């Protein structure tokens, strides 16, 4: 269920002189690029965007020349305003401006305008029509065209895989700085979003999805800004803390999803129990290990240790995937079973490569390590490999959006 838009709301807003769309650009010390980006966006909205729109520059306590540039832009360009905040934080800026805007649809984009502006109309159209409640640009969806370095690509994909495996996120790209939300949805959802930094986007989307709201995705053309000021390590640490906070809130009931859904007029989906899945995954692992030992001992005298190891590993890997499919993730029937087995073997191979390569690295560094050191390395590597297997099974192979 989702909110129903009032008939001809865009027409009524235009007649009243109220912008249909308010595009927020959060800014912190961006004096070099700010003017060119705002003028480019303003030109696009004036010439190519079919609805009345406004640009709001949210100055996050800049201490360079950005305030002066903001003031000059607001004086020079129509439908451009500035909101000054004395505290930093992109989430704080969006929360503040969105909570007080009179526009029908609220959006934001990064000041570097990495996303092709031609995606703006497809982003907000489903919100104006009332079909969807939120909309996001995605760099990871089919049809997206992205130019960026390998490091950022890997970090982005790993982060979104982590969201899928821990929070059961169904959206594909939480971090793309190109999002929109209907104002009536924002007024009811924003009071429940507490993050004031970079995790704001993720928290907003997770709460919206858990509450049963519709999230529309638009594949975008996106070019990385090599001069990005984002501190990757600090942002990653904050994101991990945010994920932990949401997991704890969902588990102990301090984030009442069904209450939020009722306030929004939507029907929330109960999250998959991460704890229950971890316990069942561990139980399947124990049984699989025992089965491997028995098979290896039975086959060793017949075909030798190497072949016995290969056969035992292959058989138990297939059995492990089948057991996790049914017991851990609750998927029955024959539908997509072959695909699940193939992907399960890929996951198993990745985990095996992690544990196997650890010894090779150790012996490359220390030619004759002590037995206890070898054991410690193997135990640590297998713990990492097990975690990787669980994340990939939960967030990829058996993710609910791929098994429906």
- C-alpha pair distances (Å), 303 with each of 295, 307, 309, 340, 341: 12, 6, 10, 29, 26
* Alpha helix stretches (DSSP H) within 101-216: 120-129, 150-167, 183-189, 200-210
Known catalytic residue at 201: yes
- C-alpha pair distances (Å), 40 with each of 15, 129, 350: 26, 26, 45
Q: How many helices (H) and strands (E) does the chain have?
A: 15, 9
Answer for the pair 10, 42: CB distance below 8 angstroms, yes or no: no
The SS3 assignment for 29 reads coil
CA atoms within 13 A on the CB side of 98: 29
- Residue 149 backbone zone (phi > 0: left; psi -120 to 50: alpha; other: beta): beta
Distance from C-alpha of 134 to C-alpha of 201, rounded to nearest angstrom: 11
Distance from C-alpha of 190 to C-alpha of 168, rounded to nearest angstrom: 21
3-state secondary structure 65-92: CHHHHHHHHHHHCCCEEEEEECCCCHHH
Catalytic residue among 195, 201, 225, 231: 201
Handedness of CA 202, 157, 244, 209 (dihedral sign): positive
Distance from C-alpha of 362 to C-alpha of 360, rounded to nearest angstrom: 5
Strand order of the sheet with strand 105-109? 80-85, 53-60, 21-27, 105-109, 178-182, 134-138, 215-219
Structure tokens at 238: 């904050």
Distance from C-alpha of 195 to C-alpha of 201, rounded to nearest angstrom: 9
Q: Tell me which residues are annotated as active site.
A: 201
């Amino acid at each position: 269920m989702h909110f129903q838009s009032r008939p001809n709301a865009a027409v009524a807003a235009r007649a009243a002189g109220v912008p249909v769309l308010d595009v927020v650009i959060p800014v912190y010390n961006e004096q070099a690029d700010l003017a060119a980006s705002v003028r480019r966006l303003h030109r696009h909205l004036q010439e190519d965007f079919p609805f009345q729109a406004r640009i709001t520059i949210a100055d996050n306590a800049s201490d360079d020349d950005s305030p002066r540039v903001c003031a000059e832009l607001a004086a020079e360009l129509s439908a451009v305003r500035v909101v000054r905040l004395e505290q930093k934080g992109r989430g704080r800026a969006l929360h503040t401006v969105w909570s007080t805007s009179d526009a029908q649809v609220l959006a934001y984009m990064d000041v570097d305008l990495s996303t092709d502006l031609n995606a703006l109309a497809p982003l907000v159209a489903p919100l104006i029509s009332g079909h969807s409640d939120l909309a996001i640009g995605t760099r990871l969806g089919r049809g997206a065209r992205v130019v960026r370095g390998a490091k950022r690509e890997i970090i982005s994909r790993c982060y979104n895989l982590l969201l899928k495996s821990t929070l059961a996120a169904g959206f594909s790209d939480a971090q793309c700085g190109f999002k929109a939300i209907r104002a009536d949805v924002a007024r009811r959802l924003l009071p429940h979003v507490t993050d004031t930094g970079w995790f704001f986007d993720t928290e907003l989307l997770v709460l919206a999805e858990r509450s049963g709201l519709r999230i529309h995705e638009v594949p975008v053309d996106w070019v990385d800004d090599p001069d990005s000021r984002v501190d990757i390590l600090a942002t990653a640490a904050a994101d991990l803390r945010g994920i932990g906070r949401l997991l704890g809130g969902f588990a102990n009931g301090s984030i009442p999803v069904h209450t939020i859904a009722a306030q929004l007029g939507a029907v929330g989906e109960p999250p998959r129990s991460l704890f229950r899945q971890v316990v069942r995954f561990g139980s399947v692992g124990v049984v699989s290990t025992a089965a491997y030992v028995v098979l290896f001992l039975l086959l060793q005298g017949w075909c030798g240790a190497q072949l016995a190891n290969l056969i035992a590993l292959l058989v138990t890997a297939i059995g492990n995937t089948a057991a996790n499919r049914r017991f851990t993730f609750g998927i029955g029937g024959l539908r997509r079973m072959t695909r699940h087995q193939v992907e399960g073997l890929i996951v198993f191979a990745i985990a095996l490569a992690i544990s196997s390569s650890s010894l090779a690295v150790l012996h490359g560094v220390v030619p004759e390590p002590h037995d206890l050191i070898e054991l410690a390395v193997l135990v640590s590597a297998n713990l990492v490999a097990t975690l990787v297997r669980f994340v990939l099974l939960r967030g990829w192979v058996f993710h609910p959006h791929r098994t429906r």
